[in-house]
Amino acid sequence: MQLLTFHHSPSRSYERLGHRLQQAIASPHVQKRQFVELKPAPDESPVDWQRLLNDLEGTSGVRVERLESGAIRIGWRDFTDI
C-alpha cells in the first residue's frame, strides 16, 4: 500500500495529522489487521480531518468508515487479495 505524502501541504496541522496516521499504519499489529481506527483529538482541526478523509476516500484500495463513536476506521484488507 502506497502511503500518502503530506510534505506539500501548506497546513502544518494537516501534516501532523497525516504523520499521526502514518505512524498508526506503520504498527505491526495494524499491518496484520489491515485497518486502523483513529479518533480526532480535540486540538486537531475538523477542516484538516475532512481534507484527509476526502484524500483517503479518493485513494484506490482504501476504505474509510465513520463510526458512531466518532472514530474513523481506515482499512485496506478487502483490496490486498486482488
DSSP state of 41: -
The pLDDT value recorded for residue 5 is 52
The pLDDT value recorded for residue 13 is 86
Q: Which residue has the cell 498508526?
A: 24
d(CA 53, CA 72): 9
Q: Is the pLDDT of residue 2 over 70?
A: no
Q: Is the pLDDT of residue 79 over 60?
A: no
The pLDDT value recorded for residue 9 is 44
For the chain, the domains span 12-79
Q: Does residue 74 contact residue 63 with C-beta atoms inside 8 Å?
A: yes
pTM greater than 0.85? no
**pLDDT per residue as tens digits for the range 5-57:** 544 444 688 899 999 999 999 999 998 999 999 999 998 999 999 999 999 99
Cell numbers representing residue 45 in the block: 482541526
Counting runs of H as helices and runs of E as strands, what totals does the chain give? 3, 3
